[in-house]
């Protein structure tokens, strides 16, 4: 009878141990999913910032080229004016 009680106690302890590990792994999985969601959200925000930055850089480059063309036009006009004065 004592052996049977010890055997039952051993198996109950073993089952409790398995349950504890199962719950712990479930908790880890939940934490990993939360961290994954957080990092995915950050990655999406950074990707959006990069997209916005690239768009602004494109606009700045277009404006720079426009201003360079205008400067060349003004320089040519200035040279023509000087030539006309001479």
Question: What span, in angstroms and rounded, lies between the C-alpha atoms of 62 and 1?
Answer: 91
Considering the chain, what is the average pLDDT of its residues?
A: 96
**pLDDT given at position 4:** 87
Please say if the pLDDT value at position 3 is more than 90.
no
Question: What span, in angstroms and rounded, lies between the C-alpha atoms of 57 and 52?
Answer: 9
CA distances from 45 to 39, 49, 84 (A): 10, 6, 58
* Mean pLDDT value of segment 2-23: 92
Each residue's pLDDT tens digit, 43-79 = 999 999 999 999 999 999 999 999 999 999 999 999 9
Please say if the pLDDT value at position 86 is more than 90.
no
CA angle 70, 83, 72 (to 5 degrees): 15
Please say if the pLDDT value at position 41 is more than 90.
yes
* Phi–psi pair at 6, nearest 5 degrees: -65, -40
């Amino acid at each position: 009878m004592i052996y049977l009680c010890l055997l039952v106690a051993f198996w109950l302890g073993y089952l409790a141990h398995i349950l504890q590990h199962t719950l712990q792994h479930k908790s880890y999985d939940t934490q990993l999913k939360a961290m994954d969601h957080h990092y995915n959200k950050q990655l999406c925000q950074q990707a959006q910032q990069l997209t916005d930055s690239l768009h602004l850089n494109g606009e700045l480059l277009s404006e720079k080229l426009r201003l360079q063309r205008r400067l060349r036009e003004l320089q040519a006009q200035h040279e023509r004016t000087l030539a006309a004065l001479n």
